[in-house]
Chain A
Amino acid sequence: MEFEIDSKGKKCTGLIAELEKAMSDSSISKVRVTAHDVPTKIDIYAWAKRKGHKIAEADPAGRGIFRMVVEK
């Protein structure tokens, strides 16, 4: 199963915690995530590396907007 997270408007509400929760759900194999700034994109890469997940796709989608697919 796929899951989708958009960081827009998620100031201080824990995008990384949401990713952590989604990826620890055994029924979810990949998460599509949209980051709305560069530091958030960097955070997601660093988090995926720490957790042993793979960034399967990563496309710039506009000024400071990045779409990524995180896979287990």
Chain B
Amino acid sequence: MMLMVSTQDLDEALEAVKGGADIVDVKNLKEILVGSNFPPVIKEVRERVPAERHVSVTLGVAPNQPGTVSLAVYGAAALKATSVKVGFLQSDYETALRILQECRRALNGSETKLIAATFADSHLYNGIDPALVVKLAKESKSDGILIDTLTKDGRNLFDFMSEEKLKELTDEAKELGMSTALSGALKIQNLDVLARINPDIVGVRGAVCTNNDREGGKVAASAVANVKKELELRMQGEIDIYQKKAEASAGTARP
């Protein structure tokens, strides 16, 4: 599993790198729900982040306009982003598919990967069913999937989708050769279940920000390093990722 850290500017991006993030994601939390950052910011981040570290670009919630979105995707590729994430909220399936197909066409000849994103809490926004993400990615020939959340009230990914459903979608995408990413207010306490699901990428922001505040705080290298270390411990088998689940089932869970 790779650790992806969402950042808003160069300072945060360099903190993420210092802490050992595998992927520096660039987004803009100041736009409604989540939006894209400005091209000069993305360009600067790409230039200053070592080439072996991935730099992804979040388009955020895409408007239902294939031309507009595909041009933005083209821009992300021109800025040499490793990947570009296109998320859907108030789109129907056919519109989302058409947008992704145009994005695919816009990325022809580019090394930038196209990631189809849905939101686990989209029912709160009359959005597209998040479970359609694999079908959407397969039919649009996207390179990967992301399941994220938009809610900022303290709930996270696992409040909206079960471990079993997320595992099923992740496994299905992997069999199709897609990269898989999970995000959405994830916390260190979620690392056991994340390791059991085993997406290729775990995305965090609040968990690595000062005061765990994804909006008011700033990404801190020490917090990134701590999440990275905890992830590694689970990957290497030094923390039993099934223990707490077994204890909970047996009613012997320790606090």
Shortest Cβ distance from A20 into B: residue: B175
Q: Is the CB–CB distance between A39 and B175 below 8 Å?
A: no
**B-chain residues with CB within 8 Å of residue A40 when the two chains form the complex:** 198
C-alpha gap A39/B238 in the complex (Å): 12
Q: Does B216 contact A (CB under 8 A)?
A: no
Taking CB atoms, residues of chain B closer than 8 Å to A15 are 174
Contact A47 B177, CB 8 Å, known A38-B195, A38-B237, A39-B198: no
**Are B236's CB and A64's CB within 8 A?**
yes
Q: Which residues of B contact A46 (CB under 8 A)?
A: 171
C-alpha gap A47/B178 in the complex (Å):
15
Q: Does B131 have its Cβ within 8 Å of any Cβ on chain A? A: no
Do most interface residues of chain A lie in helix, strand or loop, or is the interface mixed? helix
For B1, the chain A residues whose CB sits under 8 A away are: 37, 39
Instruction: Please pick, from B171, B177, B179, B235, the residue contacting A64 in the complex, using a CB distance under 8 A.
Output: B235
Within 8 Å CB of B2, what residues of A?
A: 11-12
- CB atoms of B179 and A12 under 8 A apart: yes
The answer, among B171, B179, B200, B237, for a CB contact under 8 Å with A50, is: B171
Is the CB–CB distance between B174 and A43 below 8 Å? yes
Q: By the criterion of a CB under 8 Å from any partner CB, how many residues of chain B are at the interface?
A: 21
Alpha-carbon distance between A20 and B241 when the two chains are bound, in angstroms: 26
A 33-51 contacts with B by CB, 8 A: 37-40, 42-43, 46-47, 50
Interface size on A, residues (CB 8 A): 18
Residues of B within 8 A of A39 (CB): 1, 195-196, 198, 234-235, 241
Interface of A with B (CB < 8 Å)? 11-12, 14-17, 20, 37-40, 42-43, 46-47, 50, 63-64
8 A-B pairs besides A12-B201, A39-B241 with CB distance below 8 A are A12-B2, A14-B174, A14-B178, A16-B174, A37-B1, A38-B241, A39-B198, A42-B198
> Which B residues lie at the A interface, using CB under 8 A?
1-2, 22, 144, 171, 174-179, 195-196, 198, 200-201, 234-237, 241
Q: Which 10 A-B pairs have the closest CB atoms?
A: A17-B177, A39-B198, A64-B236, A37-B235, A12-B179, A16-B174, A14-B177, A38-B237, A12-B200, A39-B195
